[in-house]
Amino acid sequence: MNEVEFRELRYFVAVAEELNFSRAADRLGIAQPPLSRAVRQLERRLDVRLFDRDTRTVTLTPAGLALLDEARHVLTTMAGLTRRIRRAAHPGTPLRVTAKAGMAAGMLRAITGHYTALPGAPAVDILVSGYREQAAMVRDGRADLALLTPPYEARGLELEALAEEPRMAALPTGHPLTRHPTLHPADLEGLPMPRGPGEDGPGPVVHDSAQLLEVVGLGQAVALVPRYLADAHPRPDIVYRPLRDADPYTISVAWAEGNRSQAVALFVRAALELYADVPD
Amino acid sequence: MNEVEFRELRYFVAVAEELNFSRAADRLGIAQPPLSRAVRQLERRLDVRLFDRDTRTVTLTPAGLALLDEARHVLTTMAGLTRRIRRAAHPGTPLRVTAKAGMAAGMLRAITGHYTALPGAPAVDILVSGYREQAAMVRDGRADLALLTPPYEARGLELEALAEEPRMAALPTGHPLTRHPTLHPADLEGLPMPRGPGEDGPGPVVHDSAQLLEVVGLGQAVALVPRYLADAHPRPDIVYRPLRDADPYTISVAWAEGNRSQAVALFVRAALELYADVPD
DNA sequence: CACCTCTTATACCGTGCAGGTATGAATGAG
DNA sequence: CTCATTCATACCTGCACGGTATAAGAGGTG
């Protein structure tokens, strides 16, 4: 009984996502029979049935579902590792740091200024990234570091908290909840909330905070926003209300789990020196 | 240019650990020439030199050092994944939970009792494990859950804090520091501290708390211990002193990153219901 | 300095396995 | 009943993984 190979995980994930061997094979650029065989081999190796298949339909078993989640994690870890090592080898490559527009971008500029003044610090490329894709960029190696704001999935990342901002509820003008001077998170339960691309759930998809405010102003959703955003964008069609007892809105610096690069460590230290007012 | 395969990572790690192609090949059970070729192929794939080799000695390049850390992580993740999936498929397998002897073991018994009373909860195997090897057991799949106490490496784990204990300094009777009624962590800087097997640094190696107290009693080291241990083991040859401003000694429940098993989630919930007096 | 040892690199060969093609079998659609 | 779709089976091919033999370079040693 041999070891599971990376290729088999790639194949498995493709099939699990397509739930169709032929289409998955197409996507992988191989023929269908070798793919079927590879998946069977993986099943034999693990001694586990991963798919229930009859001649028409393919479905994941519970074990398959569990594997899908873990295999995806391994694949993105590997993709990120590859990118990081390739870059680490060529010295003088700039550090790539990402944050969304808004307060985080401002903090990023400040940290970068502090950092580049340090001896031995390489140049920094600032990547502006879309709504809530910062974590994914770090995981798969498109960026070395990110400033993150909740919600995010911490898996595969290491974090240091930098700063906290109180949260405000953003409501369309005239919304019934605007009668209350302050709100609790529970008041917003069940209301449509905007979500980033790739997240599922109800509510409209937005790519940046301008779009987010727009959908709130149009009455399509309510949102939780950090106070700086409320201060920076007063709008006649939006009413902001402070929230009591909400989770704090913590801005953290994040890097890939296991990334022990000198430049990354230096940047994190620079960030903590500037902003570390938050206990771990 | 094809994808990096697991086999190549395994080979790379073996060479990086042995720093000798022949011995590494031996350990892997293959001949030396194919191993050399595989490593060269990995270097070509990554477009990175991983080793500086002349005909006598092999050393890691900085890029190789970075890869070693990440590759080890990927390999243990894979080993754990394999074990978890294999077990997940065979329902009715008991949940394996580990903790070191002492207070954590007592908590573990209490949680287990609470848990097994729940509907649909499978049996629980309690594994007693050695000093500070709990995290490794969860990472590589030998256990599903662990109760952890600091210090530990959180990489690859997800954690929930359960309880805190104040720390005490354990000093040999007659030690100069025993003159002070309370101590600060800085007072212990530079003194020999016991360490677990596999950790490096100065200080004697111990495998359990009995050994730990023994080396303190013999004057070979000083140690930080949770208060329950001090209460449970009064000894004439050891003096305990409370510590001010020390990091709290937090006992957490931990499971493998990405493990979304029903049984694990239920166990964590049971643990939190019993003990969750610690904010996250 | 010659010789031996140790270690990695090169050359060459065989075979196992990944991947391709052709086709069968099962099942749902019309 | 027929056709389309989809997964499984059978068989073939080529490559790359692994093995053996050996060269080449670098220390150590008398």
Closest to B256 in 3D by CA, of B155, B133, B163: B155
Does residue A178 lie within 7 Å of nucleic acid chain C, judged by its CB?
A: no
Q: Which nucleotide has the shortest C1'-to-CA distance from B38?
A: D17
**Calpha distance B125→B104 (Å, rounded):** 15
Count H helices, E strands: chain B? 9, 10
For chain C, which bases have at least one atom within 7 A of a protein Cβ? 6-12, 18-22, 25-28
Which of A6, A85, A155 comes nearest B66 by C-beta? A85
Domains of chain A, each with CATH number or no CATH: 6-85 (1.10.10.10), 92-162+250-275 (3.40.190.10), 167-242 (3.40.190.10)
Using only the alpha carbons of chain A, give its radius of gyration: 23
**Distances in whole angstroms, Cα of residue B206 to Cα of each of A90, B1, B66, B132, B252:** 42, 48, 30, 10, 22
Spatial neighbors of B77 by CB under 8 A, at least 6 apart, are: A73, A74, A77, B139, B156, B257
Q: Which residues have CB under 8 Å from A77's CB, separation 6+? A: A139, A156, A257, B73, B74, B77
- One-letter amino acid at B188 equals L
Q: What is the pLDDT of residue A279?
A: 47
A240-267 pLDDT per residue, tens: 888 876 667 778 888 988 787 878 888 8
Residues 6+ apart with CB under 8 A from A272: A160, A162, A253
Residue A35: which nucleotide is closest by CA–C1'? C19
CB pairs under 8 A between A and B: 105
Top-confidence residue, A264 or A203: A264
Q: Which residue of A has its CA nearest to B5?
A: A6
Q: Around Cβ B200, how many Cβ atoms within 10 Å?
A: 7
Contact present, A183 and A244 (Cβ < 8 Å): yes
**Pick among A30, A50, A70 to test the B interface (most B CBs inside 10 A):** A70
Which chain A residues have a beta carbon less than 8 Å from that of B82?
Answer: 4, 46
Beta strands in chain A (DSSP E): 51-53, 58-60, 95-99, 124-128, 145-148, 157-165, 167-172, 223-226, 238-242, 249-256
B257 contact A CB<8A = yes
Per-residue pLDDT at B33? 92
Tell me, yes or no, if B160 comes closer than 8 A to chain A by beta carbon.
no
Q: Which of residues 120-149 of A touch B (CB under 8 A)?
A: none
Residue A133 has pLDDT above 80, yes or no: yes
Q: What is the pLDDT of residue B197?
A: 64
- B277 CA, D3 C1': Å apart: 66
Mean pLDDT throughout A204-212? 76
Residue-level pLDDT, tens digit, chain B, 280 residues:
678 999 999 999 999 998 999 999 999 999 999 999 999 999 998 888 999 888 788 889 888 888 898 899 889 888 888 888 887 777 678 888 888 776 677 788 888 888 888 877 778 888 877 667 888 889 888 899 998 887 788 888 888 888 777 788 888 888 888 888 888 877 877 788 887 666 666 777 777 777 888 888 888 888 888 777 777 778 888 888 888 776 677 888 899 887 878 788 888 888 887 876 544 4
Any strand C atom closer than 7 Å to A151 CB: no
Pairing between strand B145-148 and A124-128? unpaired
**Strands A145-148 vs A124-128: parallel, antiparallel or unpaired:** unpaired
pLDDT at A103 over 60: yes
B56 vs A: CB within 8 A: no
Which helix (H) or strand (E) segment holds residue B230: the answer is: helix B227-232
B1 touches chain A (CB under 8 A): no
Instruction: From the CA of A55 to the C1' of D11: give the distance in Å.
Output: 22
A86 to B49: CB separation less than 8 angstroms, yes or no:
no
Tokens of B191: 């003194």
A41 touches strand C (CB under 7 A): yes
Q: Chain A within 8 Å of B44 (Cβ-Cβ)?
A: no
| Alpha carbons within 13 A on the beta-carbon side of A128 | 9
Interface test with A, best of B2, B6, B83 (most A CBs within 10 A): B6
Residues of chain A neighbouring B12 (CB-CB closer than 8 A) = none
Rounded average pLDDT over A217-224: 83
With an 8 Å Cβ cutoff, are B70 and A158 in contact? Answer: no
Does the beta-carbon distance from B84 to A71 stay under 8 Å? no
Q: Are A74 and A10 in contact (CB under 8 A)?
A: no
Q: Is B61 touching A (CB cutoff 8 A)?
A: yes
Give the number of other CB atoms < 10 A from CB of residue B11: 25
Contact between A261 and A85 under an 8 Å Cβ cutoff? The reply is no
